Structures are given as C-alpha cells and as structure tokens.
Amino acid sequence: MAIVMLNYARSGGTLLNKCLASLSNIVMLSEINPLGGGWSQAGAESYSTVYEQAFYWYGIQLKSKGFKEAIEELEEYCASHNKILIIRDWSYINFAHCHYNAFDPPNRFLILETLSKQNLKIFGFIRNPIDIWISQNCPEINQFTQEYFQYLKTLNNLKVPVFKYEEFATDPKKQLEKICKTINISYQDVFDKCLEYSKVNGDTQRKSYQQKTEISLNPRKTISLAGIKKLHKHKLMGQICQFHNYESSYFSEISYLSYIKKYPSFVLKRLLKTGFIQLKKIRKMSFFHSYQRWIKDKGDQTHRLNYQLNENSIVFDLGAYIGHWTNTIFYKYQCNIYSFEPVSKFFKKLKIRFNDNDKIKLFQFGLSAQTGTDCISIDNNKSSTFKIGKEEQIKMIKALDFLNQYNIAFIDLMKINIEGGEYELLQHLIESGCINKIRNIQVQFHDFVPQSKKRMKEVQQKLSKTHRLTYQYLFIWENWQLK
C-alpha cells in the first residue's frame, strides 16, 4: 500500500514532507506528478521524477522510468524491504494555469487516476488561502481563487482526512502523532533532525526556511492597504476561507504586530477608522505601547540622530536603502559615513545621491557573519532575506574581514536595519571581538525571524557585557553604548 499526500503550492507541504520522511523505514517521493515534478534548493540539481528520486535519494535502482510503472516497481520494493512508500503529490500542477501544464490544467488529481488500481491511503494538507495567495506574491485574485476553489472542491469530494498547516505549526508533536495514526504508520519524535532533512523538493532554497531552528507559525506577511481592501471585498475568497473554517479577514492575532510596524501612519488614522484593526486587540500588545512611546518621544527626530559626533567621526549605515538616514546624519555632523546597500536598484539611487561626496563611501554588499551570496526578497525598505517575494541575488562580506581590509580601528556609530540579518551579524561581532570597536550600536530587531524574541534576548544579554542600553523601544529601535 502507498500513501498519497495531496497539497497545494505554498501550503506548508515541504515542512510536513521533511517530518514524515524523517521517520524510520519511510521512502518518500517529493512533489511528483504525472505532468512533472518540483525542484529543490537553488543551485542544486533537482530530481523531479520517480526514477531519479528513488536512485539519488535512496539508492534504489528501478528498471522503469515511466511514472506509473516506476511507482508500481517502487511499491513492490518497499513491500519486500519492510518500508512504507509515501508520495507527496505536486497538486498545484493539476489546478493552476502554468507552463508545466501548457496553461491548461486538468482540474483533477491525475496521480489518483494514474494509480487508481493500486491500494492507496490518501490525505490532504491545507493552509489558509489568504496566506497562500500572499505567499504567491498576490497574483490576480480572480484567477487564483477560481483555481484554488476548484482544488478544494475536488479534495473535498474525495472525503479523505484533511489536516491544517496552522495546527501542525502550532503543535507539531500532537499533529504529527495524529497524522501518523490516521495513515497507520509508527510515530517517532523527529523534531531534532527533521528540519535538516534534505531529500525534499519545495521552498527549501529560501534562507528563511534554511535557518529555521524549530517548527513555529510565522507572522503573516504584510501587504498594502489596497491589497487588503481587495482581499476583503472578494466574495469568492471569503467563501474559500469558510470552506475549512478559516477567518476571512486579513487581520488575525498574529498579523497585527507586523502590519502595525510596517504601516504606523495607518494605525491611528485610516486602519482604525475602517475597522480592519481593532484597537482593543492591539492595545494588549507590548509592541503597540512601544510604538506609542516612540511617536510621543519623536524618536525618529531625537533618538536616532542625537549622538556625540563630529567631522572626524566614523559612522556605518547598514541597510542604507536610498540614503535618508545617511543624508540626515551627514548634514548634521559632517562625519565620515560607510553606507552598505546590497540591492542593486537601491544602490543606484545611493550613487546618484552621494556620488560627489568624498566623505560618504558606498558599498553594494551587506555585512554578515560570513562572505558569500544570498537571495533577498525585494520589498522597498523592508527587503529581507527572510521573506518571500521577488528575489535578487546579493553579495555579503564577513564583517571582520571588511574592518581589517579597510583598517577600521573604531566606529563611533553603527546603525543596523537589515531586516532579520541583525541577529547573525551581532553574534559575529560579539564572538570576533569587533563589538569593542563600536561606541554606539543603533539596531532594529525584527520579529518575523524564527525565535526572534529568544534570539534578541540572547544578543542583548551578551551586549550588556560590553555596552549599556541608552534607549529601547521593543522591536522598533534601541541603542547600546560602549561602557
């Protein structure tokens, strides 16, 4: 008997794939379908057929290369070697208009038709359609909802067990036990190794995925107010959400925090008036109180700019974007500034703005714990390697190597706003001893990074050994001054 897992693109299937495949005596095929297969990590060779995955992942040499024949042969192998075959279907290819199906989806599960004569155990794995839509970069909403609704109806007609990604991410142990019981396989606690499992296709190429240290439910990605209005007005999206009892509003408890932070001007003005955000909910959040204090204290005009600097001071701007802060600090103190911006289109604007200023040095890379390349999601001043979206490959340089190369003996002020990369960078600066070369560290910690609160506290504890806290507004801005 083979087990078939049905799930749509961006529904958390890769995460569950890793967990199930980490169990003992499991042979798991990942994102395969009669029409084609998915891919693995960027830059790595991907295996998209049954024959390839069996051979390269499990060392099983099949005689058959055809889809149906290869699965039948692999199932016989598993039965004779006391193993269980689990097939993760690439269901997306059967319902979405894409080049994999010549933009003509069959609107049915081809894998079930192809294997109709075999003894199959089937289950589905779903996610809130709002998050799927956002994770796919908010495609044309009419087409998306029609395609996804067809998928849900077809899945529902099968009358098979269906599990939710949100419940799994919130309580993975309980849900994995429940899934294992449903498909009749033995449960084991695999959470110490499952995230490192590499024989899988899916979103494993993203840095945010690669750096996960635990299974948790991340905050919903922020989108524009126009996008939210479009979402709320779309009747079919609301019907799809209700199909499996999902809340049809963009705003949920977990998405308030990230949205308020990205669009503070909307919070007290337009959003509260629309009723999209309820004041009684956000008042309960410590972040909101920090935000209120920051506005009251005029932090952008005071805390971020008031330092004991002069024309000889050295300032680092990490995450310069298009140079607003660099420009303000320079004209206030006439100091020497090193500005770092890895995103090409933002760096071009920096060059245009400061090209004739010899005291402002521009670098088209970011500082990190190690030298290499990374993929960054482009989202204006919120561009991050920890988010999903339109991507660009960027260059990163090890901070210690940069300081040595440019003979930087001391930095009067380092501003760090690098959208999630601050944890790794600060850890590197501390461990390398470079932290003692920095008088003031103005940093914005970001909450969308896995285990952000825990990692922030660990960094702050280590910083307190060399620096003292001069101001702090939770997940907004804080400053550490050398003792």
Instruction: For the chain, list the domains and their CATH numbers.
Output: 2-203 (3.40.50.300), 225-284 (no CATH), 314-482 (3.40.50.150)
What share of the chain has pLDDT > 90, as a percent? 62
pLDDT digits (tens, 9 = 90+) for 390-446: 467 888 999 999 999 999 999 999 999 987 889 999 999 999 999 999 999 999 988
pLDDT tens track for 431-455: 999 999 999 999 998 876 777 788 8
Say if residue 307's pLDDT is above 70: yes
Task: Quote the pLDDT of residue 345.
Answer: 87
Is 475's pLDDT higher than 90? no
Mean pLDDT value of segment 47-61? 96
pLDDT digits (tens, 9 = 90+) for 171-230: 899 999 999 999 999 999 998 889 889 899 987 555 555 455 678 777 677 777 788 888
pLDDT in tens, 271-302: 555 555 554 554 445 566 677 788 788 888 89
Q: Is the predicted pLDDT of residue 387 greater than 70, yes or no?
A: no
DSSP string, 333-396: H--EEEEE--SHHHHHHHHHHHTT-TTEEEESSEEESS-EEEEEE-BTBT-BTTS-SSEEEEEE
What SS3 state is found at 13?
Answer: helix
Q: Which residue has the higher pLDDT, 383 or 58?
A: 58
**Rounded Cα gap, residues 375 and 329, in angstroms:** 29
* Cα 359 to Cα 268, 315, 355, distances in angstroms: 39, 10, 10
Does the pTM surpass 0.95? The reply is: no
Query: Are 257 and 219 in contact, with CB atoms under 8 Å apart?
Result: yes
Q: What pLDDT does 289 receive?
A: 67
Secondary structure E strands in 33-155:
84-89, 120-126
pLDDT of residue 183: 96
Cα 218 from Cα 299, distance rounded (Å) = 28
Average pLDDT rounded to a whole number, residues 34-45 = 79
The mean of the pLDDT values for the chain is 86
Q: What is the mean pLDDT of residues 257-278?
A: 52
Q: Which of 479, 483, 409, 482 is nearest to 441 (CA)?
A: 479
Residue 109 has pLDDT above 90, yes or no: yes
Question: Are 467 and 294 in contact, with CB atoms under 8 Å apart?
Answer: no
Determine contact, residues 417/444, Cβ cutoff 8 Å: yes
Q: Looking at the predicted structure, is the pLDDT value of residue 388 above 50?
A: no
Average pLDDT over residues 57-75: 96
Identify the residue with better confidence: 292 or 475. 475
Other Cβ atoms less than 10 A from the Cβ of 446: the count is: 22
